[in-house]
Structures are given as C-alpha cells and as structure tokens.
C-alpha cells in the first residue's frame, strides 16, 4: 500500500517530523528526511499490526485502490 507522509522540519528537535496523512495519529521523526521516512515506515507497520489485532472473527477485510492526484504547489 502507498501512504502519504508529510515531512515538516522542527527547529527545536533539529530534525524532521513525519506525519502519515492517511493513518490518523501515525507519526515518527528523524534527524534527516531519510531517517524520518524510515522511522515512519516502522510506525506504519506497528500501526497496522495493532489495528488488525482489534478485528474479531466476523470482520472482513477488503483492499481498494483509489487514485487521487497529489496537490501541486
């Protein structure tokens, strides 16, 4: 799956905050953009593992792909 990750430089932290836009509350950080993205991928994995543990036996999971163009500046 593809996830949108918004990177914001944090002057106080002196690094980047990675906010996974399509997973509410899923965030990470890193001193470089690459490190922030790497850590965000770990956060996504943990988020999804946690979310699937909450499913009961009667739950059904479907996968849907929807193309939405990224905003341009």
- Domain count for the chain, please give it: 1
Mean pLDDT on 32-45: 98
Domain contains 62 = no
Domain contains 70 = no
Contact 56, 50 (CB under 8 A): no
Percent pLDDT > 90 in the chain is: 66
List residues bridging with 7 in a β-sheet.
Answer: 18
Which domain range does residue 15 map to?
5-48
- At residue 73, the pLDDT reads 67
Residue with tokens 């499913």: 55
Checking if the pLDDT of 71 tops 80, the result is no
Domain contains 60 = no
Mean pLDDT of the chain: 92
pLDDT-derived band at 8, boundaries 50, 70, 90: very high
């Amino acid at each position: 799956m593809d996830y949108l990750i918004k990177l914001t430089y944090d002057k106080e932290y002196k690094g980047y905050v990675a906010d996974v836009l399509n997973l509410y509350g899923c965030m990470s950080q890193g001193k470089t953009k690459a490190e922030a993205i790497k850590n965000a991928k770990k956060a996504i994995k943990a988020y999804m593992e946690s979310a699937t543990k909450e499913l009961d036996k009667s739950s059904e999971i479907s996968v849907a792909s929807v193309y939405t163009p990224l905003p341009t500046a």
